Structure 1
Amino acid sequence: MTANAYVLYLHGFRSSPRSFKARVVQKRLEELGRERELICPQLPASPKAAMELALLLAERHAPHALSIVGSSLGGFYATWLAERLDVPAVVINPSVNPLKNLEKHVGVTTAWHSDEPFEFKQEYIAELAALRVPRITKPERYFLLAATGDEVLDYRDMVAHYAGARQHVIEGSDHAMSEFPQYVDEVLAFCTQGVTQ
């Protein structure tokens, strides 16, 4: 990775920068002496506000020194950003069409890593619809890491949506991708390759 390269990590729904995979990425970059390269914001519940924040952070470093890693809903966001900024993205068990999954979560809920309540409003569904990428334009821009054992999202939807992209389909595992430490080097290597191309 170049000296001034950055990884923007986007967590999933009800998640945070303290999520398992975000901490794995942070720890690995620290071990490599590259901890300053990680940008990992707490995303607002509003998809529109989340992307405004991500764009603000990303555009400081894009397009020549940024790669994006997104998990679950963060993978959906990462795809929209990658298309907009023309940067490489790693999508981990990404939500391909969160409109059909998140409608049932409208209302007040809490994050996994906090007791602080937040509201997922009905209008956020329309905000998600506005961010949907029906078809990716440059498959080579993406690396899909998907688990067949994902109990929340169907990996076959992911494989179809990212057709032509680099794909690593893991047999078994789960939505959280408990074995993610085994794959973090592969993820960071793709980020490095994408930024330096």
Structure 2
Amino acid sequence: MSSSILYLHGFRSSPTSFKARLMADAMAERGLAGAWACPQLPASPRQAIDLAMDIARRQLEGAPDPRALTVIGSSLGGFYATWLAEQLGCQAVLLNPAVQAPRDLATQVGEHRMYHSDEPFVFLPEYVDELTAIHAPAITRPERYFLVAATGDEVLDWREMRDRYAGCRQRIVQGSDHGLSDFARWMPEVLEFALGAEPVRPQ
């Protein structure tokens, strides 16, 4: 049974994203705010994964089983979550994950603005190499993974997600979009997987 959650947001996103806020509220309602972490990830994938790894290891301190931690990753965060799960042996929930992040983000080199703050940042060419360095070559122990993939994702191909996480628990959402704007409908199932208990259903 998992007891803590680490949420990793996607490219240009933040801890104030819609899904992250829903999850944070649900954890607080359960009295589990202290078991929730959702950092602002640096643009550098190497720095982002180092930060996430540090937080994950702190969350696992004293835990008898690495599955006491579930890393939930959205989009690029799903790419990171897969790497962490393979390194640590923890659980992972992937929300419309970037399967081929080096390929997909090679087109995004340059200056961008954050979705939720309009703050500028630069995605450097070397960041693509950093992504390549943290690509998990295979999924081991697929029972540790839960994929939520939307067929209406306008950014990433849900079929790549389905195939990458073959053998894992999967919820293929018909329609929806890359941001999973109907996430409140699927969050109870995510919480059930992460916490191993009947979830608090959103109002």
Normalised by the length of structure 1, the TM-score is 0.94
Does 2:86 align with 1:114?
no
User: Paired residue for 2:200?
Assistant: none
Pairwise mapping of residues 36-185 of structure 1 onto structure 2 (< 5 A)? 36-62=34-60, 63=66, 65-185=68-188
Q: Distance in 2 between matches of 1:165 and 1:186?
A: 14
The aligned length equals: 192
Q: Distance in 1 between matches of 2:146 and 2:18?
A: 20
Gaps of 5+ in 1: none
Task: State the shift of 1:73 in Å.
Answer: 0.3
User: Paired residue for 2:30?
Assistant: 32
Gaps of 5+ in 2: 61-65, 198-203
Q: Distance in 2 between matches of 1:111 and 1:133?
A: 27
Equivalent residue letter for 1:38:
W
Task: State the shift of 1:61 in Å.
Answer: 2.1
Task: State the shift of 1:133 in Å.
Answer: 1.4
Task: State the shift of 1:64 in Å.
Answer: 5.1
SS of 2:54 mapped into structure 1 = helix
Q: Which stretch shows the higher mean deviation, 94-103 or 163-172?
A: 94-103
Normalised by the length of structure 2, the TM-score is 0.91
User: Paired residue for 1:12?
Assistant: 10
SS of 1:137 mapped into structure 2 = coil
Kindly indicate whether the alpha-carbon contact (under 8 Å) linking 1:108 and 1:119 is maintained by their aligned counterparts in 2: yes
Equivalent residue letter for 1:147:
A
Kindly indicate whether the alpha-carbon contact (under 8 Å) linking 1:28 and 1:184 is maintained by their aligned counterparts in 2: no
Q: Distance in 1 between matches of 2:53 and 2:72?
A: 14
RMSD of Structure 2 on Structure 1 (CA): 1.4
SS of 1:125 mapped into structure 2 = helix
Runs of 4+ residues over 6 Å off in structure 1: none
Kindly indicate whether the alpha-carbon contact (under 8 Å) linking 2:67 and 2:91 is maintained by their aligned counterparts in 1: no
